[in-house]
Chains A and B, each alone.
Chain A
């Protein structure tokens, strides 16, 4: 059976596209002989070997294995001295978690206690986390954005040609299935997003699902269709807007809490969808940002553009 082209491409890419250079350490690592087709490693003019590095290589490998073994031994010994798994008297079960469990519902208002912790008690920390995601997306865009300076005319033409080819030969099955599934996936993502304070889920999980739905959309209908409603402008507005909304809400909460002022945002009835004060808007903001970031990661890796 012939492998499909994309698989071969992926394989070559993952393998590092360097058939002339065998992995010099593969053998020392696996004492038993590997598969027959991989076993005859070329002893050709490897880059390291030509520099007279064979003995050095062996030594490095041995040292690496030794390091790993010592590390594993140390960690396993530590694990052996840890308190028993699932014991109620473990060190983490202290007054902090007691406070979170016993007063979380009353103080913050979400029935999902984990959400209480990550978005309000440790909200500042989670804000930093959103900033990390923002920075990650920015760094990826900086590195992969295909502009005039880092892409040749040939690459751009190739991308345009593959786009045109995709446009002509849409995968019918994928298109139809996506048409059926898309509303369901979006609905499910929104459900998880908006129910973060009542059930497992929240901004990060729901946002990932929404991002996945966007990626599916891009694959089924082509990048141009997604660009019609999700272009650079929308992306930047959502990304920055969500982060700013989050920052404002978290600043408000910290200010009110630190100064003992009455909180103007009502906590609502615990268990209903409009409850838990700032948690719902924060979840929505985080979810939108995560969805945008996931989709941006995907398209920038593939196309170098949104």
Chain B
């Protein structure tokens, strides 16, 4: 594909593009932050990016949310957008909540022991106490 065409496709899939960028922001945060708290927050960024990607996969132009307004009319695919990705996102959200809580709990324990959130300092102190 030519660059023009690629850019046009990216603009068309703007939600996916945004989610990829958000994911990379989170990844960079995980890699470059020395602060454990910020690392957990960056992980949250990555989670949100994935949720955005999944939900945008379920959207279909011109169709309404998959909640049946009138049960007497038989539901057809032409009316409702795809409910499956929305269901899958829920799994991700719950796992991300659990992960965040667990990560923060570990961080708090580390802070109580080493009085620092900086990963380098924690490693240094841990090594010192090992010797």
Which residues from A are CB-within-8-Å of B35?
Answer: 14-16, 23
Which residues from B are CB-within-8-Å of A233?
Answer: none
The CA of A74 and the CA of B14, in the complex, are separated in Å by 16
Please count the residue pairs between chain A and chain B whose beta carbons lie under 8 angstroms apart in the complex: 207
Q: Which residue among B21, B33, B60 has the maximum number of chain A CB atoms within 10 Å of its CB?
A: B60
Across the interface, name the chain A residue whose C-beta is closest to B99.
A136
Which residues from B are CB-within-8-Å of A67?
Answer: 31
The CA of A24 and the CA of B120, in the complex, are separated in Å by 10
Contact with B along A50-65 (1 / 0, CB 8 A): 0000000000010011
Find out whether the CB atom of A102 lies under 8 angstroms from the CB atom of B77: yes
The CA of A97 and the CA of B63, in the complex, are separated in Å by 14
Which listed residue (B16, B23, B27, B61) contacts A87, Cβ 8 A? B61
Which residues from B are CB-within-8-Å of A135?
Answer: 98
The CA of A190 and the CA of B122, in the complex, are separated in Å by 44
How many chain B residues have a CB neighbour from A under 8 Å? 71
Contact with B along A261-303 (1 / 0, CB 8 A): 0000000011100000000000000000000000001001100
Does B126 belong to the interface (CB within 8 Å)? no
Find out whether the CB atom of A126 lies under 8 angstroms from the CB atom of B27: no
Main secondary structure of the interface of A (DSSP, over half): helix
Find out whether the CB atom of A14 lies under 8 angstroms from the CB atom of B117: yes
Instruction: For the complex formed, measure the closest distance between the CB of A121 and the CB atoms of chain B, giving whole angstroms.
Output: 8
Find out whether the CB atom of A96 lies under 8 angstroms from the CB atom of B84: yes
How many chain A residues have a CB neighbour from B under 8 Å? 74
Find out whether the CB atom of B27 lies under 8 angstroms from the CB atom of A13: no
Find out whether the CB atom of B12 lies under 8 angstroms from the CB atom of A297: no
Given known contacts A85-B56, A125-B91, A204-B94, A113 and B83 CB-to-CB distance under 8 angstroms: yes
Find out whether the CB atom of B34 lies under 8 angstroms from the CB atom of A118: no
Instruction: For the complex formed, measure the closest distance between the CB of B72 and the CB atoms of chain A, giving whole angstroms.
Output: 9
Find out whether the CB atom of B90 lies under 8 angstroms from the CB atom of A129: yes
Which residues from A are CB-within-8-Å of B74?
Answer: 102
The CA of A200 and the CA of B87, in the complex, are separated in Å by 12
The CA of A71 and the CA of B85, in the complex, are separated in Å by 24
Contact with B along A97-116 (1 / 0, CB 8 A): 11011101100000111101
Find out whether the CB atom of A144 lies under 8 angstroms from the CB atom of B109: yes
Find out whether the CB atom of B77 lies under 8 angstroms from the CB atom of A72: no
Instruction: For the complex formed, measure the closest distance between the CB of B8 and the CB atoms of chain A, giving whole angstroms.
Output: 9
Which residues from A are CB-within-8-Å of B120?
Answer: 21, 47-48
Which residues from A are CB-within-8-Å of B116?
Answer: 16-18
Find out whether the CB atom of A16 lies under 8 angstroms from the CB atom of B1: no
From 14 to 39 in chain A, residues with beta carbon under 8 angstroms from any chain B beta carbon are 14-18, 21, 23-25, 29
Contact with A along B98-128 (1 / 0, CB 8 A): 1101101110110100011110110010000
Residues of chain B whose beta carbon lies under 8 Å from any beta carbon of chain A: 1, 6, 9-10, 12-17, 20-21, 23-24, 27-28, 31-38, 56-61, 63, 65-69, 71, 74-77, 80, 82-87, 90-91, 93-95, 97-99, 101-102, 104-106, 108-109, 111, 115-118, 120-121, 124
- Known: A85-B14, A87-B60, A92-B82; 19 extra A-B contacts, CB below 8 A, are A13-B117, A18-B116, A18-B118, A21-B121, A48-B120, A68-B28, A75-B20, A82-B16, A84-B9, A85-B13, A86-B59, A92-B84, A101-B77, A116-B83, A117-B84, A136-B101, A271-B68, A297-B101, A301-B104
| 13 A-B residue pairings within 8 Å (CB atoms) | A13-B117, A14-B38, A21-B120, A24-B34, A75-B24, A79-B16, A92-B82, A100-B84, A112-B67, A136-B101, A143-B108, A271-B68, A301-B105
